[in-house]
Structure 1
């Protein structure tokens, strides 16, 4: 007999707010043949930080999430147990961007950028601080978005003043930096349909796709409104636009 189809796996949605609350929701993935509407089910709600939450990141297969706040701290969450695991207090300024790097279901590293221009690199096993480094030559330029290459060897950071920096995560140092025409608000790694290595950046209403080897622009798209977030998949790039 053929194996029974596995039930749709649950998904988690994590959101932070200026009112210092973080919310977790579960959503059961729809079967391909199902037309039934699904509602988000609340998992947890915490007044997590002493100030506005600036950023969140998740390692969904490991059931972990993190939030960074204006109170100079990072908090960790167990999504399966709906539990607050406590804070990381290493940053000395507001946390502006977070990113996990995972291999399979196991998170290897957590990256955290702060408003004093530092990038903090943590080992996800115990969340010990491995190193802190300056992301941009202009010492206190903060990174507003981070992207970790699937290999875990390098990461990209885009800065508030228009910087683009590549960080060698194996050696813990900055390996490349340049100035952009306009400050980018989002960056993400992606692959094209043929498996080519790309990264995507958003600056205001423009989205550009770059070759990862030489950063040349392969494709450019313009949206009607400012791009707020990017979510690449194997073939598509999902873009969230809005206005302030």
Structure 2
């Protein structure tokens, strides 16, 4: 597994870590076992702050977007910088890969001028540019791609939500929100219901993907800055409360929480999905990063009433702005 973190100081960091189910681990592993976050690389990737990162699941491909109006590409297994894309005409605020199995198909980039650029992941040729928010000054701030690869959601900084038809390369729907959303993601509940979640200030809303109606509203108490859905109908959030909260999307209730997960606000959360031989998917490991530069790995099976001990930790000594991960070994 690998992690990629970006910082305000324009650097990115790559780390590798071992799964608890690796041959090096024993069958009776307990919460006292630790993991090693091994540094793989660090680059002064951009000439301005790194604003977003994305990793293609199981493909070893990653991308970063910055305030310098560019996108950088990386090969994680070889720790190689593959170069940069210069098509964005404004700062890049969000990135998302769409993958079919181990092969990434497209890379989407949302920018401060309201445009969403769609790239072919094979050669990274620009396929289309969709004006998600035509109004002047309406920056695209968050991005999510549906598992089908047919549609995507973009949230605007001024308080709009747009649905993009990726097959036809155009905006198909847009509406105004009560409050600007800082994060959006597609998710499933325990029954396999097709949903999407949005974070706006301290509220997280769960919506039906068919008609966008609100299914549940979850109150975190303080501003939510990062969210990550898991395959088992759980959503993990982090933010200014410095905690990591697990929400049951079927009930809309908090199921567990890591109190005081970090000393400062949580800026990124990553869920690592592991495939078992029987075909079921487990999400036992999560990673979190805070604005003081600390990255931690947690085993969700140890989360209870008491604060668990992180399985692994690294300190970049920088102001982390974003975090992404992949199950690539």
What residue is the counterpart of 2:42 in the other structure? 45
On the 8 A contact 2:155/2:181 being kept in 1, the answer is: yes
d(CA) in 2 for partners of 1:211, 1:195: 12
1:105-131 deviation line (CA, Å, top 9, x unaligned): 110000001111111000001000001
- Cα distance, 1:207 vs structure 2: 0.4
Asked whether the 8 Å contact 2:165–2:172 carries over to 1, the reply is yes
Residue aligning to 2:112: 115
SS of 2:89's equivalent in the other structure is coil
- Equivalents in 1 of 2:121, 2:137: separation in Å? 26
Gaps of 5+ in 1: 1-10
**Shift in Å, 1:139:** 4.2
Aligned pair 1:81/2:100, yes or no? no
Kept in 2: contact 1:118–1:140 (CA 8 A): no
Contact 1:12 1:60 in 2 (8 A): no
Q: What CA distance in whole angstroms lies between the structure 2 residues aligned with 1:165 and 1:33?
A: 48
Q: Work out the CA distance in 2 between the residues paired with 1:200 and 1:117.
A: 21
Distance in 2 (CA, whole Å) between partners of 1:74 and 1:137 is: 22
Q: Displacement, 1:60?
A: 3.0
Q: Which has the higher contact order (CA 8 A, sep 6+)?
A: 2
**Separation of aligned partners in 2, 1:76 and 1:198:** 30
- Tell me the CA shift for residue 34 of structure 1: 1.7
Instruction: State the aligned residue count.
Output: 234
What's 1:222 paired with? Answer: 219
User: 1:33 maps to what in 2?
Assistant: 28
The answer on whether the counterparts of 1:200 and 1:207 sit within 8 Å (CA) in structure 2 is yes
Higher alpha-carbon deviation: 132-141 or 11-20? 132-141
In structure 2, the CA distance between the partners of 1:33 and 1:146, relative to structure 1 (3 Å rule), is farther
The 2-side partners of 1:141 and 1:131 are apart by 19
Taking the TM superposition and a 5 Å limit, the aligned residue runs for 1:233-244 are 233-234=230-231, 235-242=233-240
1:122 partner SS: strand
TM normalised by structure 1 equals 0.93
The alignment partner of 1:90 has SS state of coil
Q: How big is the shift at 1:215?
A: 0.4
Q: Does 1:159 align with 2:156?
A: yes
Quick check: 1:65 aligned with 2:62?
yes
Task: Name the TM-score, length of structure 2 as normaliser.
Answer: 0.70
Work out whether residues 14 and 25 of structure 1, in 8 Å CA contact, stay in contact via their aligned partners in 2: yes
Match of 1:207 in 2: 204
Question: Is 1:138 paired with 2:128?
Answer: no
Matched, 1:184 2:174: no
Which of 144, 166, 171 does residue 168 from structure 2 map onto?
171
Equivalent position of 2:284 in the other structure: none
- Determine if the alignment matches structure 1 residue 15 to structure 2 residue 5: yes
For residues 230 and 53 of structure 2, the distance between their equivalents in structure 1, rounded to whole angstroms, comes to 19
SS of structure 2 residue aligned to 1:62: coil
* C-alpha distance in structure 1 between counterparts of 2:123 and 2:108, whole Å: 14
1:96 aligns with 2:81: no
Q: Report runs of 4+ in structure 1 exceeding 4 Å deviation.
A: none
Shift of 1:224: 2.1
How far the C-alpha of 1:66 sits from its partner, in A, is 0.2
C-alpha contact (below 8 Å) 1:230/1:237 kept by paired residues: yes
- 1:4 aligned residue: none
